[in-house]
């Protein structure tokens, strides 16, 4: 059994390159794998390892002047969810391509999972906006949530006119762990939305699911950027399956990657179609992999090797 950690912190880092080198030493010593991004604006991490290693890493972070008081989301994983360790310094710890428009000191306000759940139960008048990529939405989202007209979150800067229709309403944004809502709420405030009406689900889907998974208002699965692919939120027999096979339309939420290594498309596919199509997304790819040289090498324990976009 392994453990995963999902976390971030918006905090000024004077020397991110130096912190990257220190982090690399610590994570290698603890045999942790995953992805960590650092910038002058903070840190964004998603890592995995043994329970002992993860606990030691958390202790290191809690003792660090810059990184203490992080709200870690820690969960069990039956597999090592990451194939390698990657720690990089970037201009942004979450890609918005609108860094110049983001004032980290002027963001929306948090709403905790308990309050948000009560709002949902009471039928509170609000607009719930999903701030994730379209392929994440496809297999799970909050009931009655709005899907913005984007494929990737980074396109939000080009679609601000779309949100004008919600300008006088209470807005609650959510994403997987909360980080994408941080710059998103800042952009909304920048574009004239009343800060008092712009909320951000604290801890995102992951924190909400920890307490309200089986009785909550999130339907389907939560996409993860690791080898687990997705995690079930509602684990009862009443769980809703939202996805559909892209080849035949049958109800399923299994993500695959095309076995043609030159394609490697991430798509939803049912078992029957995958058997019929030799784990490819279309006839052309099925024909190509007849030559084994063009087949992607599958990783042990996983159905897919998805791209992180």
Cα 225-226-232 angle, rounded to 5 deg: 80
**Sequence-ordered list of residues with C-beta below 8 angstroms from that of 25, at least 6 positions apart, any chain:** none
How many distinct helices (H) and strands (E) make up the chain?
A: 8, 14
- Catalytic position from the list 27, 175, 263, 270: 175
Q: How far is CA 17 from the centre of its chain?
A: 25
Give the three-state DSSP class for 76: strand
- E strand spans, 144-234: 171-174, 198-201, 218-223, 230-232
| Cβ atoms of residues 213 and 222 within 8 Å | no
Please state, in angstroms and rounded to a whole number, the distance separating the CA atoms of residues 151 and 95.
Answer: 13
Neighbouring C-beta atoms of residue 78, cutoff 10 Å = 9
Cα 87-89-93 angle, rounded to 5 deg: 95
Q: Is 273 a catalytic residue?
A: no
Q: Kindly state the tokens that stand for 170.
A: 């209470």
| Cβ atoms of residues 180 and 161 within 8 Å | no
Please state, in angstroms and rounded to a whole number, the distance separating the CA atoms of residues 174 and 161.
Answer: 19
First and final C-alpha spacing in the chain? 27
At 180, give phi and psi (nearest 5°). Answer: -70, -25
| Cβ atoms of residues 1 and 77 within 8 Å | yes
* Catalytic residue ranges: 175
């Amino acid at each position: 059994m392994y453990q995963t950690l999902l976390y971030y912190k918006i905090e000024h880092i004077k020397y991110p390159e130096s912190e990257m080198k220190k982090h690399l030493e610590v994570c290698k010593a603890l045999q942790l794998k995953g992805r960590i991004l650092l910038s002058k604006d903070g840190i964004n991490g998603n890592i995995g390892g043994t329970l002992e290693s993860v606990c030691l890493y958390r202790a290191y972070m809690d003792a660090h002047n810059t990184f203490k008081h992080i709200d870690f989301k820690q969960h069990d994983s039956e597999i090592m969810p990451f194939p390698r360790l990657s720690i990089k310094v970037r201009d942004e710890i979450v890609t918005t391509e609108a860094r110049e428009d983001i004032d980290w000191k002027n963001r929306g306000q948090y709403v905790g999972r308990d309050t948000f759940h009560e709002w949902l139960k009471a039928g509170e008048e609000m607009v719930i906006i999903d701030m994730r990529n379209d392929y994440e939405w496809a297999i799970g989202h909050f009931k009655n949530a709005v899907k913005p007209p984007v494929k990737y979150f980074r396109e939000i800067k080009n679609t601000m006119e779309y949100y004008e229709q919600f300008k006088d309403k209470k807005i609650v944004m959510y994403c997987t762990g909360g980080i994408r809502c941080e710059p998103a709420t800042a952009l909304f405030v920048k574009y004239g939305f009343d800060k008092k009406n712009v909320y951000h689900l604290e801890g995102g889907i992951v924190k909400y699911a920890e307490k309200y998974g089986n009785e909550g208002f999130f339907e389907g699965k939560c996409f993860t950027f690791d080898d687990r692919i997705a995690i079930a939120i509602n684990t009862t027999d009443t769980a809703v399956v939202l996805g559909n096979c892209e080849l035949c339309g049958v109800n399923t939420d299994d993500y695959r990657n095309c076995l043609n290594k030159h394609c490697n498309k991430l798509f939803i596919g049912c078992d029957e179609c995958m058997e019929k199509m030799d784990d490819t997304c279309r006839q052309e790819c099925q024909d190509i992999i007849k030559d084994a040289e063009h087949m992607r090498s599958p990783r042990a324990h996983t159905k897919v090797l998805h791209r992180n976009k």
